[in-house]
Copies of this chain bind each other. A is one copy, B any other.
């Protein structure tokens, strides 16, 4: 893929950051405002995320009035509560009133009831109802992602009627790309892009302009499913329906893109055994708390592997070369297992791996595992023979390598498939299981064979 030097350019934020730091140090709100004035809300939110909690406190004192709905909706969950607490109530109320209903939902869904109610109280009745309706859907569902502001038209309207309607409305959403056609019971039956609306004759019936790509999303669908559908079918927006197939809102692609990004983050962090919500701006304490459970799990699996070695203490005492070579077998197994595991987890996430081809993929991984086992078994046997001049030892390490790379392949594919079948996230904890298998079997195969053959 691309040679990737995307981050070698100077980061324009670095300059601003320096000026922001100066303004904070000088406690000069005017300088701070001047430094931030040309910046996009998303970039200001990033600056705030990168600060330490102390810096953030100072910053918010100086810039409280500058925080608007846009910045607030861009701020990462991990520090949102901290920021909300420090904002004057009036600023918060004003900011919330500017936001689309989906952003308000995103903002308040993790808050405790009293804080949530305080924020909702700032909304006018209609917006508040929209937010509450959304909050009634499960966490991480399409219902939480959608905005309730939708432009609809009866399916029997013409282009002229739709255009006149849009002209006369004054509550239109900030961004919209389609008109959703609904039947009299408010079931969405199609949509028309604004481009096509503009380009068509005024007397054309909307029904005839509806797009093929039309599909609705259940408000109960998981957000991962939403991201998948948008990415797979190149949707720009999609109507959301309740259990009775009635229109309750719309999701736009920018929200789906954020979800896709979050899902990837989750996968990559889970595969590495780092807490899901780990963040570059977390404090030492937060970071330690996230990582300790995974290291603790690893120490248990490492002890399991160590107790396998302990069984063969006698063998090692007789032939110390075993101690020298045994980590190689385990390490190669761990690497091969991680390769298979990652391909499997990724395949499950993108749905390239499904029941239809699971068996074929398992078969492929087994053959690949055996092939790599034979390749690296021969290589290690040759190296061992050259190093220790012991053909028996060479044969043992070669065989152990074949066994362990086969085990790595099986564990790497079957563990994520199994977790997935059980309804668990295959990215979560698979890595630990797989390396435990390859460590234990690696030591067992090598030391066991050595005991049988050499001693």
Contact = CB atoms under 8 A, between A and B. Distances in A.
Contacts of A326: 323, 327
Contacts of A167: 198-199
Given A8-B420, A288-B368, A303-B328, A2 B139 contact: yes
Given A268-B267, A356-B14, A299 B332 contact: yes
A295 interface: yes
Interface string A247-265: 0000001101110111011
Contacts of A316: 316, 320, 323
A352 B295 contact: no
B232 A42 contact: yes
A314 to B, nearest CB: 8
A433 to B, nearest CB: 13
Contacts of A3: 423, 425
A245 interface: no
Contacts of A194: 177, 194-195, 197-198
A271 to B, nearest CB: 7
A420 B43 CA distance: 22
Contacts of A356: 11, 13-14, 17-18, 50
B254 A1 contact: no
B343 A278 contact: yes
Quickly give the copy total for this chain. 2
A346 B236 contact: no
A18 B198 CA distance: 43
Contacts of A11: 351, 354-356
Select the residue from A324, A353, A360, A421 with max chain B CB neighbours within 10 A. Answer: A324
Contact of A324 (B268, B313, B341, B423): B313
Contacts of A195: 151, 166, 172-173, 175-177, 194
Interface stretch (A60-68, A85-93, A218-226): A218-226
A327 B330 contact: yes
A203 interface: no
24 contacts: A1-B140, A42-B233, A49-B352, A50-B352, A50-B356, A52-B360, A163-B198, A166-B195, A175-B193, A198-B198, A253-B253, A261-B264, A264-B268, A271-B271, A271-B272, A272-B342, A272-B343, A281-B357, A284-B367, A291-B336, A299-B332, A302-B327, A303-B328, A327-B439
The 8 nearest A-B residue pairs measured at CB: A272-B342, A2-B140, A194-B194, A323-B323, A4-B425, A264-B264, A5-B423, A280-B352
